[in-house]
Structure 1
Amino acid sequence: MEKTKSKIHYAWWILVGLCLMVGLGKGALNNTAGLFITPVAKDLGVGIGNLTLYLSISAIVTLVFLPIGGKLMAKYDTKTLLVFAIVLQAGAFAAFGFMKAVWGWYVFSIPLAIGGVFITVIAGPVLINQWFKKSNGLALGIMGAAGGAIGAIAQPVVGNLIAGRGWSQTYIIVGVAVMIIVIPVILLLIRKSPKDKGLLPYGAAVASIDGVPAEDTNDKGISFAIARKSGAFYSLAVFFFLITAIASFSIHIPTFLANKGYSVGFSGTVMGVSMIGVLVGALVLGVLSDKLGSKNTSVLAMLLGVVAIAMFLFFAENGVLVTIAAGIFGFTTASIGTLAPTLASTLFGSKDYSQIYATASLGLAVASIIALPAYGFVYDFSGTYTIVLWIIAAMFVINILAILFAFKSKKNLVEQGHWN
């Protein structure tokens, strides 16, 4: 274990690899999908709705495959799985470039989603939980911020490629480029656990969980069989569902602003501030979860969310306050990538983390399918987002209650001797 005393712990190289892998999987593949919709639909002669059906198929496949992916991560070699996953995700993305009919998007959305389950959802939190016993929240925050930064770079690059080379070549260029970059990163940097390098997790000698030294709690916690029957697990799933449903409102913010009489240019500025809020939130919430604990930080983030919604509701005519509200809202939605994984780790430990996190993450997939159209239907029916905003405020409050109940349930499980 002498290696643990080296200047740079290998956990930080794991984080570098994850930043590149997750960042490119999200930022260069998933988050650029919207740039292709209009040119592809126009060239294929299909409606936007018909084309974007592939996104719904992808979401459903994600929903079905998440618990399976968690089991595979726990059982099989991580590097092999992740190489296979990036080939599926980026390869399917590149395959879109060869398609001449909309059914191609429907078919290749399946491997796109299966690969994405590992690359963009499970791998980051699972590996960070394995490698970091100290600064776990900071590591998650850095990974989230890096993904946002890579996405910010990828958007204009991909947009210019589509304008210059067309959507078909751009799909192929981006998909192949991501594989060329990510596969060597996985092979050279990624390791499943510190044991593979003869190391303790970063900070194992000094970090602790509920007063127990982390070196004694590595690979310990509450089993999946016990966890999935507990109130803590269902509360965590509720948190995942609601914070994702809340974050989905970001896509409706420009329409909300237009409804209030603001220009498209102003909406663009507000959305830029919101994205800055997400980047800052990923880092700050990560650091705070290390300092204050995931429970206190999560409650604080939800309270800030209520403040943001109150500003949208009562100060919508003030452009400055609306802009600040969007920044705060973005800050709180960073909870998806930082607080959700740290809550899972704090509540259930490392023993069956990949299965527990992946199964609880079903809430993320379900919310993404339901919330976006639901907000749109409410707006179409009422002509305003007022009802939606009150619902979102209620979601923040419910999340606070869910967090408090989850930790009470965890305490009962520990007292019953299920933490081992």
Structure 2
Amino acid sequence: MAKMKIFYGWWIVAAGVLIMSILHPLITTNWGLYVKPVTQDMGFSRSAFGIISTIVYGVTVLLSPYLGKWLAQKNTQLIQGISIVGLAVSYASFSFGQNLIEFYISAIFMGAFSIGAIALPISIVITNWFVKKRGLAISIALAGSGIGGAIISPIMTKVIQNYGWRTSYLIFAAAMLIIALPMVLVMKKSPETMGLKAYGADEAATAAQKDITPKAQYNMTLSEVKKYSFFWVYLFGIFCLSFVGFGSLSQFAAFVADHHGAVFAASILSLFLIVVTLGKISLGWVYDKFGTKIGTVYICIVFALSFVLMLFPDSKQLMVVMAVLYGLGVCTGTVCPPVITASMFGSKHYGEIYGFVNLSVYLGAAVSVPAVAAIYDKTGSYQGAWLLCIALMLVSMITLLYSDIKCRSFTTKQMSQQQTNRQATA
């Protein structure tokens, strides 16, 4: 058999880019474009419409631990394919909604199918395929959401303006099936299914033989990590990170449109989404090059600065700078959890552990979306929400650093003990 010129794992990354480019922005980033037209047409408050996202994320919280385990142990491609079809149908059903109850029912199904369709299976599969450059591979795949969101934003704005929001739901539901569903065929679960090894697996094995204690990976199980406080502190840090990212993102387009109109908001949304693409790739590189601690400090500070600029929304110039910083910072919600989780706890039981971590991600999302909307409904401004986001970013940075340091200390001791035991029995 001739040697493949391009490692197959990179084709999986490319498929992940396309899946993320259409599915993720439609239910997160670009969802905010529906806020004003739907609420004005249907007479909903923004907080009532925001409950749709709460339901989506709430369902994700309940099902993520199970989906993470199923995706890791069962037929990943089949589960992802069914989930994409279900997600498209659920998305299309919003077109026929006549009241809040019907919108909320659609949200239940959209949340359930989104778990097995988007980031979770992509992260699990790529983690199986990469040892070396794992952070970069995951971040490139997840960067698809920025590329797709930037392309979708002006198109969706035009579709809503010219044909209405109901038609928009149908058009983009069809796009989900056309673009994402065929990519499932590429998403082979592991290199072993194709007679291959994970990228960098041989190098890691050689390095482990030469220097076991600092560089070998210690793989923790879910039942094991639950016993230690640093895991729960880590989950809280991820919760804060997700609260800020998802909560602000749900109102980002509406926030800019309130001050400068829908056209400028769409252009700002496109700008920040282009930056997201570069930001996710660069953040993966930072994590691979400098480690999770430096990467976390860098991205948390950048994200916090974007909210500082949001406190001065009347300046278009500052909003442009804000969009750049926000585009870099919002990468925290998608890149940080999978990359840090694999780095801290190992890849052997990654699917099971990350399914549990994903619970914390979407719990933060479920709580934050109505919270940010409620602050606006009660005060007529997002100022209070942005101040809260600044505070939570600092809390997240501190807790993630603490848990990272404690976990590294624990795993180093465990690997040293294993080495001592092997030497004693040799």
Give TM-score, length-normalised by structure 1. 0.83
Deviations 1:326-373 (A, max 9, x none): 422321221222222110001001122112112112222222232244
Q: Is 1:289 matched with 2:287?
A: yes
1:132-171 matched pairs, under 5 angstroms: 132-163=130-161, 166-171=164-169
* Higher RCO structure, 1 or 2 (CA under 8 Å, sep 6+): 2
Q: Is 1:212 matched with 2:211?
A: no
Counterpart pick for 1:280 among 250, 254, 278: 278
Q: Is 1:79 matched with 2:77?
A: yes
- Once the two structures are TM-superposed, the CA of residue 142 in structure 1 deviates from its matched residue by 1.7
Per mean C-alpha deviation after superposition, the further-off stretch among 404-413 and 70-79 is: 404-413
Counterpart pick for 1:15 among 7, 10, 13: 13
Partner of 2:331: 334
Per mean C-alpha deviation after superposition, the further-off stretch among 303-312 and 112-121 is: 303-312
Q: In the alignment, residue 152 of structure 1 is paired with which amino acid?
A: A
- Once the two structures are TM-superposed, the CA of residue 219 in structure 1 deviates from its matched residue by 9.6
SS of aligned partner of 1:134 = coil
Q: In the alignment, residue 249 of structure 1 is paired with which amino acid?
A: S
Deviations 1:255-307 (A, max 9, x none): 77799xx6447666555543343222112111111111222211221233344
Q: In the alignment, residue 141 of structure 2 is paired with which amino acid?
A: M
Q: In the alignment, residue 329 of structure 2 is paired with which amino acid?
A: T
Partner of 2:248: 249
Contact 2:149 2:270 in 1 (8 A): no
Partner of 1:131: 129
Q: 1:394 to 1:30 in 2, by over 3 A?
A: closer
Partner of 1:367: 364
Q: 1:338 to 1:32 in 2, by over 3 A?
A: closer
SS of aligned partner of 1:229 = coil
Q: In the alignment, residue 57 of structure 2 is paired with which amino acid?
A: A
Q: 1:98 to 1:332 in 2, by over 3 A?
A: closer
Q: 1:155 to 1:400 in 2, by over 3 A?
A: closer
Partner of 1:193: 190
Give TM-score, length-normalised by structure 2. 0.82
CA distance in 2, matches of 1:163, 1:254: 15
Q: In the alignment, residue 60 of structure 1 is paired with which amino acid?
A: G
Contact 2:61 2:363 in 1 (8 A): yes
CA distance in 2, matches of 1:307, 1:316: 14
Q: Which runs of 5+ in 1 are unaligned?
A: none
SS of aligned partner of 1:350 = coil
Q: 1:342 to 1:92 in 2, by over 3 A?
A: same
Partner of 2:389: 392
Partner of 1:409: 406
Q: In the alignment, residue 193 of structure 1 is paired with which amino acid?
A: S
SS of aligned partner of 2:201 = coil
Q: In the alignment, residue 212 of structure 1 is paired with which amino acid?
A: A
Q: 1:232 to 1:198 in 2, by over 3 A?
A: farther
Deviations 1:98-129 (A, max 9, x none): 55555433333222111101222311211121
Q: 1:384 to 1:30 in 2, by over 3 A?
A: closer
Partner of 2:223: 225
Counterpart pick for 1:27 among 25, 30, 38: 25
Contact 1:23 1:150 in 2 (8 A): yes
Contact 2:154 2:266 in 1 (8 A): no
Contact 2:84 2:113 in 1 (8 A): yes
CA distance in 2, matches of 1:30, 1:328: 18
- Once the two structures are TM-superposed, the CA of residue 194 in structure 1 deviates from its matched residue by 0.9
Q: 1:180 to 1:249 in 2, by over 3 A?
A: closer
Q: 1:389 to 1:114 in 2, by over 3 A?
A: closer
Q: 1:6 to 1:71 in 2, by over 3 A?
A: same
Count of residue correspondences: 411
Q: Is 1:348 matched with 2:345?
A: yes
- Once the two structures are TM-superposed, the CA of residue 35 in structure 1 deviates from its matched residue by 4.5
Q: In the alignment, residue 199 of structure 2 is paired with which amino acid?
A: Y
- Once the two structures are TM-superposed, the CA of residue 405 in structure 1 deviates from its matched residue by 1.6
Deviations 1:28-81 (A, max 9, x none): 4554444556666677x5535655543332222112111111121122110111
Contact 2:280 2:331 in 1 (8 A): yes
Q: Which runs of 5+ in 2 are unaligned?
A: 419-426
Q: 1:125 to 1:35 in 2, by over 3 A?
A: same
Q: In the alignment, residue 147 of structure 2 is paired with which amino acid?
A: A
Partner of 1:57: 55
Contact 1:85 1:118 in 2 (8 A): yes
Deviations 1:236-263 (A, max 9, x none): 212221122222335556777799xx64
CA distance in 2, matches of 1:369, 1:266: 28
